[in-house]
Structure formats: C-alpha cells, structure tokens
C-alpha cells in the first residue's frame, strides 16, 4: 500500500478523522502496510508489544489461551477497528493472540514512534484516551453480563452485540447475522460449552425467537430478544 493509500485509510478512523494535513502526515510517515491470509497470526500471546494495528480489510479474532490450551475469544474485529488498545500505554507482552479470520490488509504503526507523535500532538493524545474509555466501558458491560446474567441471557446479549457490529438490517426491521461464527466461537466468547450454545439456539429456534436460513445465517428481532431478558 502506498503512502497516499495509507493516508486515505487512516483518515477514516475516528482517531485520526479530525487531524489536519500535517498531523495525519506524521502518522503516515511512520506507518507500513501488511497483508495476511486466513489463519495467520498477527502476533502471539506473550510476544513483546511493538505495534498497533488498524484494519483496512478483513476480520481478526482476538483470543486468549490458558495452560491447557482452552481458547477464550475476547473479540472479533473488522475493517475500521484498531488493536490492541493496550498497545498505546502498556509495555511488556501482548495479552492475547490475534488471528486472521478473513484475509486482511492492515496498517501497522510502531508504538515507540507513535508515542513521539502523541507527545507532539496533545489533541491526538486526548482522542486516544477517548477511544480507550469506550473500550473500557465495553469490557465493563461484558464483565457485568457474565456476573449478573445466566447463560441463556448471556447468549442473547452476545447475539445482540454481534448483530450491532457484524449484522445487516433487513426491510422488516429484523437483523441478519451471517454464519461466520460457529457455535464453538460463540461459546468461547462467553466462556461456556459448544453443547450449551447448541441447545440454547435450538430452543430459541423452536420458540420462534430466531430463524436460520439455508446458508446458516441467523435472522432475529433484537427487541424480541431483549424482551426475553427484561
């Protein structure tokens, strides 16, 4: 990707959207582009934190792995997202794995050089704090879900959260969530078993809360799902 292309891509991220020509050029000058195919890792849990990544195309799975090899999906992110948020102000090691789910184009910004740009641009530093604040709120909400909700309610909230980020609105007001997430993926996102997710989704289909088309995509009304919780 050429510098002009990197500049165009970064300008669409909320973090850089209001920077002037000179300010965005400083970010572009320290950025490089990478293309990775499905199943490749961007970084491994435990690797030294060196870069922050901005997704131009594709999807990335952020997950942790415990000593027994059990996977816990932290997030599924796509074009328009950046990761890892801890990279800006944390030294040490990446706290999770980042694996390509769909062939991706990334803009890579080295942290040590980005910190110098932040020092020179206090306004940009404030925007970074705002992005981190949004991330913290999202993580707090998900933690509350695990503490306060039973598994059935957690699955409903997960479907709603995924539909907001990855779903498509239909003419009848419902949402279509494509079959890019397996039951195992859904289970790993909330720390339960694939069997539990399968039973719950089967129950929801029987009750008419969700429909599944021939392609395996889910269709549902988010308001109806919310009524199951409140």
CATH number of the domain that residue 16 is part of: 2.60.120.10
Pair of tokens at residue 171: 């003419």
CA distance 64 to 189: 10
CA distances (Å), origin 132, targets 43, 116, 152: 20, 19, 29
CATH number, domain containing residue 165: 1.10.10.10
C-alpha triplet 193, 158, 185: angle, nearest 5°: 45
Q: Which residues pair with 169 in a beta bridge?
A: 175
Tell whether pTM > 0.75: no
Q: Is residue 216 part of a domain?
A: yes
In terms of domains, do 157 and 112 share one? no
Domain that holds residue 191: 149-227
Walk along the chain (230 residues) in steps of 10 and give the mean pLDDT of each run: 87 80 87 95 93 93 84 88 74 88 94 84 77 73 69 90 89 90 87 90 93 91 87
> Which is nearest to 84 in space by CA: 66, 108, 116?
108
Q: Is residue 210 part of a domain?
A: yes
pLDDT of residue 97: 94
The structural domain count of the chain equals 2
CA distance 34 to 228: 43
Q: Is residue 16 part of a domain?
A: yes
pLDDT of residue 84: 86
């Amino acid at each position: 990707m050429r510098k002009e292309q990197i500049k165009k891509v970064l300008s669409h991220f909320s973090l850089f959207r209001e920077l002037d020509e000179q300010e965005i050029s400083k970010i572009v000058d320290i950025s490089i582009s990478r293309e990775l195919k499905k199943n490749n890792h961007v970084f491994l849990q435990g690797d030294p934190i060196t870069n922050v990544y901005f997704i131009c195309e594709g999807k990335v799975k952020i997950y942790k792995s415990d000593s027994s090899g059990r996977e816990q999906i932290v997030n599924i992110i796509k074009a328009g997202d950046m990761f890892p948020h801890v990279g800006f102000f944390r030294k040490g090691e990446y706290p999770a794995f980042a694996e390509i789910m769909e062939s991706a184009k990334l803009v890579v910004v080295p942290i040590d050089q980005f910190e110098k740009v932040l020092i020179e641009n206090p306004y940009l530093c404030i925007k970074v704090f705002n992005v981190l604040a949004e991330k913290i709120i999202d993580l707090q909400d998900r933690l509350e879900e695990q503490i306060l909700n039973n598994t059935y309610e957690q699955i409903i909230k997960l479907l709603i959260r995924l539909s907001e980020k990855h779903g498509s609105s239909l003419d009848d007001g419902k949402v279509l969530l494509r079959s890019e997430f397996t039951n195992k993926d859904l289970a790993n996102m909330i720390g339960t078993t694939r069997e539990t997710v399968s039973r719950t989704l089967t129950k929801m289909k029987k009750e008419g809360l969700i429909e599944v088309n021939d392609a395996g995509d889910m269709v549902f009304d988010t308001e109806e799902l919310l009524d199951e919780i409140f």
